Structure 1
Amino acid sequence: MPFTCAAVIDSHIKALGFFVCLRSRNNMRRPDNVFLWNLTAAVFVLVQARPNMKLSSQSSSSLRSDCAGNLMRLSLDKALAVGNQLEVEAINGTEYHVLTPTLAAQCGYSMASDPWGNTRIYTSLMGCYVDNKDDAMFNVGLKLQLYKTSSSGVISHGVMQTCSYTRWASKEILCDRNYMEVSNYMATPEPQTETKWSAQEVNDDSKINNSPGASGAAHGIWKITFLTPEPLSMLLREAEQAGYSAMKTSSRLVVRSPYNTAETYSENVAGIPMEVLRVSTSYKSQHGLSVVNLAAACPTGGVLFTEAVISWYVPRRISHLMESRVRIVEVHMGINGQKLDKSQMATRGYSLSTTDFHHIIEIPVGAPDGYYKSHAPDYQYHISYTVEAMLEVLWRAENTQDDTRYKVLFPITTPLMPRPLFVEDHTDLAAGTFSVYLGKFLNDVELRNITFSTGVLTVEESNARGFTVQEHSFPNGTKSFSLQVAFNSDVVLKHNPEPVATTYFLPLTFGFMILPEETPFAQSIELQVSLQDVVMPRLSGTCDHSQFYISVEYGSQGPNFQTLVGPQELTPEVADDYEFRENQTHFSLVMPYTAAATVFEVITSDSVRARLDMLLWDPINEWVLDDLYLACYFPLMTTTCYSNGTITAVVAKVQSVPHLDLNSLTLMDQSCKPVFSDNRFAHFSFRADSCGTTRTFFDNYMLYENEISLSDGVAGQTSPIEPEYRQTISCYYVVNQTETVAFSHKPMSNDPDAEIGFGKLMVQMRLAQDSSYRHFYQAGDYPVMKPLRQPLYFEVELMQSMDPQLELILENCWATLEEDRTSLPSWDIIVDTCENHDDSYVTVFHPVMRDARVKIPSQIKRFSMKMFTFINGNNVLKDQIFVHCDSVLCVANSQADGACRGQCVRPSSMRSSTHQRKIRSTDSIHQMQISSGPILLFKSNL
């Protein structure tokens, strides 16, 4: 029946951390009980008897055989073995014996294979099926059958190796992977001719070590007594059936036992666990019955580990093997069954030392004769290091001068060593790319896939998506992997912890596979970076005589916010009422000042100050992204007096009386209520001689007055914290004046006539900090200090005008010592719109270009002059100057004469050389006067 993993584990293997797993190849056309090596995972030899067949030897550079003392060693390179399954047959003359694990341990064969298929097969020169010539020449024959896992093909390799070995000690003890062997020199050589035993008991082919199951008389061995420690006797055939082997050669008696049998036992020697075999062998010779006591003791432990060094301790004195007094003659260490000399040990960093109780071999972890292997217990990355050490000791008994050679092949594997993976974050902020390095791994690890926030991608799929996945190899045999992902990839999660910052978050799980076992494990990491890269949305607005104009720039996050217009959200339905327009970068609104979202702050006799409150709101994070509080005056005639004696009045609800019920307002006669009212306005219309209107005469005027207030019926219901509402209505009429009203017909025009109104325009003059005109001195910065001849950059601007037809002209500018613009002395800077050519440091006009701040360049003038001071002779009158200007507003492109023709348009021949300022032009719309703050002369002490 097939072997299972549990069926072939013994204590020796357990102690060394090895395991065996045998797999049958039922899909191959072979007998059911044939088992094969899988050279990518196996540890022991699989064997089974096969019919006789002719050897067909095939040579291969991947097969190497050599002799290692009392062993023959056969090596298979992974290039030959990897991916195949191996069957090993021992050749005995013309017979082929497929080796099984039991037969291999019984007959002196062992096998070691690393996970990649590098394989070594050891054969004891005293093993079964070895052609032994006088214990001096040994012919070992093996046949290897390699079964391709991907096909039904079979490759055969025949190996014949002859080893010469004559340095036999009186006693040889061999501890191999799966068996213990002891051989003892027989003082009286056995004749090679027929003895007194019958032909039935004698094997004519006695030079070939017979297989188990042959007649005990053929070996001359009669009985084996196992000392366990209680004696247990077995005939040879019984011992062979129990898995043991005993035979005689021309000069030696050989006994072999697998580990962990019923007749072996464990014992601590100098603190080291040993597996012990003690037998008493009775055999027939021509002199009668001889009894030889044999013993073997093999270490099953004694290894200490650090991260850097493996220390293997073997007892120096083994009581079951040594006489009372012995002398150590030779001590050698080796690797993979081959002894090393001192120079080889020094090159590899190995050491061999002896104390009173132990022989100690020290091997650096990672030495080149071993190999590392990856593991993933609990899906965590670990590594182990495996090396096959050998100790060979020769000692001599002082009383008998007999030598004993003690040889141990001892595979060592370190405990699993955790290797937490290092993560190097090489994220490039300038390039906007996550970059991570993950390692280090052994070469038996492959990256198979990466789990992103959107799903799992193989390495090939990741590269196809534009991510960069690379493998990096290092000279020490390790490697790492790297991944690059752009911030704007769809697998990157984004979050805004604050309005102006974005956190980019890349969760990753790397899926690895350990070969050849295909053991999976994973490593999760998270990459995160925060950037101040958010361009906030921005609100801006202006007004004209009747409407608010609002513009909203989206910023870098797009329209991902809520817009609140007054108390209500800007829904599509609300937007339809406000001339909503949008594109990819912004949207705009046009809103009448009477819209429900506005509030009235102040009411005058001819205007109302209305305010619009807007808010950009992030409802997820509850952030105010931007706000705007825009208040403007709009023309509103609250009282109109008609010549027929009718008076109309308008009442608007103001913010200071938010709960005012306009329908509850009355005139002085409380029966006179509004002719119309809503939640914003109430309209009254009444005759001058009604509703309690009073009349007063003075000079040639007649005054009618009334008052709008809350009726007595509701006055007591107002909140005590709200003021009483009063609004006085007054109308003046001229007495004894005749008004003539004419009527004439006129064809209708397509353009309605605009009603003449009144307003205020302001002009400001500012001193810039440099010629870029981006930064200006504020009111708190004056007086400004400037060195002599340092340029002064002035800007004069018409404020709050949206009319592109208006142009600002600087008519005259001059400097004085005092703040009074008419004080003397004074010095002309601009004369009749032009520079003063009598000045040795001529004034320079600077062009004004349209940009984000400058909307109408014609309404801004810029000029510069050099800092100076007034002197009288050689004396400085004062260390300060004030600059004053007269400016005019003109209709652009005016053809009129005077200042409105433009800034400095007079021919040079007509420019006055005097400092007298001309009378301002009658073509100007409006003339304004402006002055700067004090500018102090900066004096250096140097």
Structure 2
Amino acid sequence: MAFVFWFGVFVLLSIWPSVRCSDLPRGAIETACRDRYLLVTTQLSFAGNEPRFEAIDADGVHPITKQYGSECGYMFSILPLSGHAELRASYFSCHTDNQDDEVFTFSFNLITIDAKGVETTYTVNANCSLPLPWSPREVSCEENYMEVSVRGDVSGLPGTKADNWTAALATAHSSATSTWQVMFQQEGQQLTPMSLSEARELGYVFYLTQGRLVFRSPYTPGSVMGSVTMVNGMLVEMVYPILVSRQRWVVIMVDLVVACSTDEGMYDGAGLVWQTPTLLSPLVSGLFGLESSNISMGVDGQLLDEPITAERGYSLDIGDTTVQISIPFNAAGGYRKSFVMNNMYHEFYVVRLYYEQTFMDDSGVETRLRLHRPMNTPLLIQHISIINQTVLEDRVFTVYLGNLSYDVDLVAVKLNGHNFTIPEANKSGLVITMVPQPNSTLHAYILRVPFDAVIHKLYPTEGLLEYSLEINYTLVILPQEEPYFYLASVVAQFNDVFPPVFKGVCNEKSISFQMDHKPFDYLWEVGVGPYRLTPNLAAKRGYVMRNDSKRLTLEVPLFSVGFTYKDINLKQFRGTFEILSRFPKTLEVKSSLAKACLFQTTEVIVCSTEGVMTVVSMILAIPGSEPSRTSLRDSTCMPQAMDDTRVLFSFRLDTCGTRVQFDYQHLTYENEITIEHTSQSVEAPVSTRVTVRCVYPLSGLYKLFAYRRFEADSPGFGTILTRVPVKN
């Protein structure tokens, strides 16, 4: 179940190009003496190349390869933590100086290689004193080997069925020599003695210390003298060697059976579960009164007391036949490792379980079992958590990105299409903060974006305002800095948000507008036609505009740009001025007020968008004038209405003799009102001519040229020029 590319012994397969020695960096390499092994941990940067160890003794330097480590009592592994590796060396490892089984001296070379291919060698030395007295028999179940040691004065230790022991004894009497030999007990096979050197060639190691006899076996070696058996439904690997030697008439036999549970654990959706038989029958079968006296658990090679295991959520269930250990996902003591696959964030959770059990037989002889077992979940798709923590009154988007492992960093964000690195974001008024996640080893990021920054604003329905933020997080998986992109979007809504409301009042010669300011007025712009109402536009057109913190007022004088006129007669006409509220970006009109007022007619000229000129002209000031004898340049074009003081003409711009003039920006239509009258100074009749003119911007008359149809985008600008007397 374990991933071999994260755990396993580093195999020396290469010849490195260059080597240099270096002093040990402070804190980069640490050693710790544990109950039965030395622990060496390193935080040195690997630069993509795994380090390796060499054991040193009086005979020279010995590279610790995968096979050599399993035969000689070394376990080297790379942990999920970036740049973290460790070596566990048994007190009985091959090149350790052993003083009376009490003091153990270790010497290693740690070799790293940088990105340029240059090797650096660090020397690691350590001395360990035995912290806990040896039990008569001790079994160590490492990740890559099994080891058993027995007290030198103990023979025929528990673990052998009587009939098996009788068969071994008979073989030993008939074939044993004065030199030590070994027989491997296997189900259904005849016992065959072999020399210790022959056993060493098969991967099995035997040696005698000052007071202990040690046997070490790799798991399932190439020439298998061991076996895998089922005990209470669980796999147990066993190697059963019997050492024999004839000393004159005495045959010495030592039982060195070793057995280890090989259960790799499982992930049940909530955590990791590991099981082992309560009694390992290969170690204890056939013994009356033998029982398990104590069981403890821990992680990373250290046992934990019950309060700590309870606090972390670990459980240790001891039954008559089975011991079960459960560790919840992401519990303290484990490690999480992240991956990116198809831009999906995956991870697995790893626990390096440590298990210790003691057995006691009815004679008081103790067997102590210690087991190291890495367990990990399968690759899991990890769902990042996004929480919108925005408080509307703060007018700042606050977005929580959580459930990130220690090896995941946020390096950039894209906000509504705008890219920011983390330093750029913080310089731009945005705030990105990394925070620890409560009660876990995870961390999170909090992103704060003010509403007036890069936020999109939308007014989807009447009275509803939405602020939206599309976020593309750029995360990297360390140490390889593999990128991962995560998309999220958040929305903040405000209700009862309406466009500005205007009130209009008719004056004698103007229309006045008033708007009381509200909190969200800034979302809209006030417009007149296609133009935004600004102080500059108001001054240019002659509007009177006042704007303070409470309200906006606008007075529009009659005949200003923006007025439209209807129902013109000699007494009155209707003037209309429209003011708009619209979105600045889309210019979508959300509300408007077209205020229409009746004004008294004096002298008026109106140039309509349909190409009609309407003129009311005063003739009272011309003595002897006769309204009935008033016409345009085309004398057949007579007034539509008249009284004693005024005449009203309304005609199409392509009729009644109207002249057309062009320049680069305007199209000017011009006609004349001819008023015939008598003069005391002149005996003949006299005519007075009044020039009337409509001017249209060429840019608004594209339909006139494209379709030969007069249709202007806006009314033209009309003028009535000075009267000119003319003799008939």
Bucket of the pairwise TM-score, normalised by the shorter protein = 0.5 to 0.7
CA shift, 1:468, in A, is 1.6
1:306-338 per-position Cα deviation (integer Å, ceiling 9, x unaligned): 788765432023333322234125324253444
Give the aligned partner of residue 525 of structure 1: 488
Q: Which moved more, 1:280-289 or 1:99-108?
A: 280-289
Give the aligned partner of residue 281 of structure 2: 319
Pair 1:269-2:234 in alignment: no
CA shift, 1:433, in A, is 2.3
* Kept in 1: contact 2:619–2:627 (CA 8 A): yes
Give the aligned partner of residue 505 of structure 1: 468
1:653-693 per-position Cα deviation (integer Å, ceiling 9, x unaligned): xxxxxxxxx999999xxxxxx9986249999xxxxxxxxxx
Cα distance, 1:526–1:27 mapped onto 2, change above 3 Å: farther
Tell me the distance in 2 between the aligned counterparts of 1:268 and 1:15. 25
Picking from 195, 218, 235, the partner of 1:258 is 218
1:809-853 per-position Cα deviation (integer Å, ceiling 9, x unaligned): xxxxxxxxxxxxxxxxxxxxxxxxxxxxxxxxxxxxxxxxxxxxx
Which one has a bigger Cα radius of gyration? 1
Picking from 7, 32, 43, the partner of 1:65 is 32
Picking from 18, 26, 32, the partner of 1:29 is 18
CA shift, 1:350, in A, is 6.3
CA shift, 1:407, in A, is 2.4
Cα distance, 1:401–1:430 mapped onto 2, change above 3 Å: closer
Give the aligned partner of residue 480 of structure 1: 444
One-letter amino acid of the counterpart of residue 37, structure 2 = M
Pair 1:296-2:285 in alignment: no
CA shift, 1:460, in A, is 0.8
- TM-score, normalised on structure 2? 0.63
Give the aligned partner of residue 610 of structure 1: 574
One-letter amino acid of the counterpart of residue 239, structure 2 = R
Secondary structure, counterpart of 1:320 in structure 2 = helix
CA shift, 1:609, in A, is 3.3
Instruction: Please provide the CA RMSD for this pair.
Output: 5.6
Matches within 5 A, 1:699-848: 743=680
Tell me the distance in 2 between the aligned counterparts of 1:30 and 1:218. 49
Secondary structure, counterpart of 1:321 in structure 2 = helix
Give the aligned partner of residue 905 of structure 1: none
Gaps of 5+ in 1: 1-10, 32-52, 190-216, 652-661, 668-673, 684-740, 746-942
CA shift, 1:225, in A, is 4.5
Cα distance, 1:425–1:385 mapped onto 2, change above 3 Å: same
CA shift, 1:450, in A, is 1.3
Give the aligned partner of residue 468 of structure 1: 431
One-letter amino acid of the counterpart of residue 444, structure 2 = S
Give the aligned partner of residue 626 of structure 1: 592
Secondary structure, counterpart of 2:283 in structure 1 = coil
* Kept in 2: contact 1:445–1:514 (CA 8 A): yes
One-letter amino acid of the counterpart of residue 648, structure 1 = S
Tell me the distance in 1 between the aligned counterparts of 2:562 and 2:352. 89
Give the aligned partner of residue 123 of structure 1: 89
Secondary structure, counterpart of 1:126 in structure 2 = coil
CA shift, 1:104, in A, is 0.5
Tell me the distance in 2 between the aligned counterparts of 1:331 and 1:594. 99
Pair 1:355-2:355 in alignment: no
* Kept in 2: contact 1:435–1:485 (CA 8 A): yes
Cα distance, 1:222–1:493 mapped onto 2, change above 3 Å: same
* Kept in 1: contact 2:434–2:444 (CA 8 A): yes
CA shift, 1:462, in A, is 0.8
Give the aligned partner of residue 56 of structure 2: 91
Pair 1:648-2:631 in alignment: no
* Kept in 2: contact 1:144–1:158 (CA 8 A): yes
Cα distance, 1:144–1:19 mapped onto 2, change above 3 Å: closer
Q: Which has the higher strand share?
A: 2
One-letter amino acid of the counterpart of residue 258, structure 1 = P
Picking from 639, 651, 659, the partner of 1:678 is 651
CA shift, 1:626, in A, is 0.5
* Kept in 1: contact 2:314–2:328 (CA 8 A): yes
Secondary structure, counterpart of 2:323 in structure 1 = strand
Pair 1:386-2:318 in alignment: no
Secondary structure, counterpart of 2:567 in structure 1 = strand
Cα distance, 1:271–1:609 mapped onto 2, change above 3 Å: same
One-letter amino acid of the counterpart of residue 524, structure 1 = L
Tell me the distance in 1 between the aligned counterparts of 2:11 and 2:504. 81
Secondary structure, counterpart of 2:426 in structure 1 = helix
Cα distance, 1:280–1:438 mapped onto 2, change above 3 Å: closer
Tell me the distance in 2 between the aligned counterparts of 1:594 and 1:319. 105
Secondary structure, counterpart of 2:447 in structure 1 = strand
* Kept in 2: contact 1:381–1:418 (CA 8 A): yes
Matches within 5 A, 1:128-139: 128-132=94-98, 136-137=101-102, 139=104
Tell me the distance in 2 between the aligned counterparts of 1:646 and 1:347. 112
CA shift, 1:97, in A, is 1.2
Secondary structure, counterpart of 2:71 in structure 1 = helix
Tell me the distance in 2 between the aligned counterparts of 1:588 and 1:19. 85
- Percent identical pairs in the alignment equals 19
Pair 1:437-2:400 in alignment: yes
Give the aligned partner of residue 106 of structure 1: 71
CA shift, 1:456, in A, is 2.8
* Kept in 2: contact 1:16–1:301 (CA 8 A): no
* Kept in 2: contact 1:639–1:648 (CA 8 A): no
One-letter amino acid of the counterpart of residue 65, structure 1 = A
Give the aligned partner of residue 278 of structure 1: 239
1:69-90 per-position Cα deviation (integer Å, ceiling 9, x unaligned): xx22224364x77879643222
One-letter amino acid of the counterpart of residue 449, structure 1 = A
- TM-score, normalised on structure 1? 0.51
One-letter amino acid of the counterpart of residue 536, structure 1 = P
Pair 1:330-2:293 in alignment: yes
Give the aligned partner of residue 598 of structure 1: 565
Tell me the distance in 1 between the aligned counterparts of 2:390 and 2:132. 68
Tell me the distance in 2 between the aligned counterparts of 1:341 and 1:593. 90
One-letter amino acid of the counterpart of residue 599, structure 1 = K
1:168-212 per-position Cα deviation (integer Å, ceiling 9, x unaligned): 5564432111112234567699xxxxxxxxxxxxxxxxxxxxxxx
Give the aligned partner of residue 412 of structure 1: 375
* Kept in 2: contact 1:381–1:419 (CA 8 A): yes
Pair 1:179-2:145 in alignment: yes
Give the aligned partner of residue 157 of structure 1: 123
Tell me the distance in 2 between the aligned counterparts of 1:385 and 1:440. 17
Cα distance, 1:600–1:283 mapped onto 2, change above 3 Å: same
Q: Count residues in correspondence.
A: 589
Cα distance, 1:416–1:582 mapped onto 2, change above 3 Å: farther
* Kept in 2: contact 1:350–1:364 (CA 8 A): yes
* Kept in 1: contact 2:504–2:595 (CA 8 A): no
* Kept in 2: contact 1:615–1:624 (CA 8 A): no
Secondary structure, counterpart of 2:489 in structure 1 = strand
Give the aligned partner of residue 790 of structure 1: none
CA shift, 1:103, in A, is 0.5
Gaps of 5+ in 2: 156-175, 548-552, 603-615, 642-646, 657-677, 683-728
Cα distance, 1:590–1:229 mapped onto 2, change above 3 Å: farther
1:854-883 per-position Cα deviation (integer Å, ceiling 9, x unaligned): xxxxxxxxxxxxxxxxxxxxxxxxxxxxxx
CA shift, 1:105, in A, is 0.8
